């Protein structure tokens, strides 16, 4: 099966520094070896400069911009963005993170050759605001390659530890719709899931029998201590 894809980016930016990080994220999308995807950007209570910067850069991307005037948290922004996704698959990119150039190609190939609902990758970590072009150092995440790969391995750990990086995930939209997207505040058992809505989603998906896998390559670059309000 040939799947269609949207990459969803939610950004809350109120300054030029945060806009700079978003531009780096978009440039990493522009450099992807796989090109056939939409880029859906949710401007979550951003200042007017953010949209202007996006348009002025003339990215070679199929960009769709949706504005959300009131900031109500990342999960609401994601659910808002997901309501506009009309493709088979959705991938996520945090506005201060980046993709390795082969990320989408390798995930799309896996989806086209395997039966899976949730597909992550291993990650690199960078610290602070320094760009890779300025000599930043890629560091391995706390999870070694060869770990948390198969569905069974992920299932054995996911209820005690979140072993998946949200931004690395590519997910079937049909599965997300059936799971009612991200819970806001309280889950079905009145447990507060704020700050761990993604982990809650993985757990609910496991309980419902959806299939997980994680590629054993570091294809997502996760930025720590950027100061951005996710």
pLDDT in tens, 151-161: 999 999 999 99
Reported confidence tier of residue 230, pLDDT bands at 50, 70, 90 = very low
Tell me whether residue 67 is in a domain: yes
pLDDT more than 70, % of the chain: 90
Tell me whether residue 230 is in a domain: no
DSSP 42-102: EEES--HHHHHHHHHTT-SSEEEEEEESS---HHHHHHHHHTT--SSEEEE--TT-EE-TT
The count of structural domains within the chain is: 1
Range of the domain at 167: 5-224
Tell me whether residue 86 is in a domain: yes
Tell me whether residue 155 is in a domain: yes
User: pTM of this prediction?
Assistant: 0.91
Tell me whether residue 45 is in a domain: yes
Tell me whether residue 15 is in a domain: yes
What's the CATH code of the domain at 220?
A: 3.90.550.10
Tell me whether residue 229 is in a domain: no
Task: Report the alpha-carbon distance of residue 58 to residue 127 in Å, rounded.
Answer: 28
Tell me whether residue 109 is in a domain: yes
């Amino acid at each position: 099966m040939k799947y269609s894809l949207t990459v969803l980016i939610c950004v809350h930016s109120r300054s030029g520094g945060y806009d700079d990080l978003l531009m780096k994220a978009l440039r990493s999308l522009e450099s992807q070896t796989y090109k056939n995807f939409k880029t859906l950007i949710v401007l979550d209570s951003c200042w007017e400069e953010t949209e202007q910067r996006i348009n002025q850069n003339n990215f070679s991307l199929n960009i769709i911009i949706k504005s959300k005037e009131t900031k109500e948290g990342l999960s609401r922004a994601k659910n808002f963005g997901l309501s506009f996704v009309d493709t088979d698959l959705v991938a996520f990119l945090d506005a201060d993170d980046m993709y390795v150039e082969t990320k989408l190609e390798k995930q799309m190939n896996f989806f086209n050759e395997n039966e899976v609902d949730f597909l992550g990758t291993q990650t690199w970590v960078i610290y602070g605001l320094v760009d890779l072009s300025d000599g930043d150092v890629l560091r391995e995440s706390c999870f070694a390659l060869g770990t948390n790969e198969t569905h069974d391995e992920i299932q054995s750990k996911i209820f005690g530890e979140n072993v998946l990086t949200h931004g690395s995930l590519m997910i079937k939209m049909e599965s997300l719709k059936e799971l009612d997207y991200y819970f806001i505040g309280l889950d079905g058992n009145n447990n507060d899931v704020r700050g761990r809505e993604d982990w809650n989603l993985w757990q609910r998906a496991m309980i419902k029998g959806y299939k997980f896998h994680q590629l054993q390559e570091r294809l997502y670059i996760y930025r720590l201590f950027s100061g951005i309000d996710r």
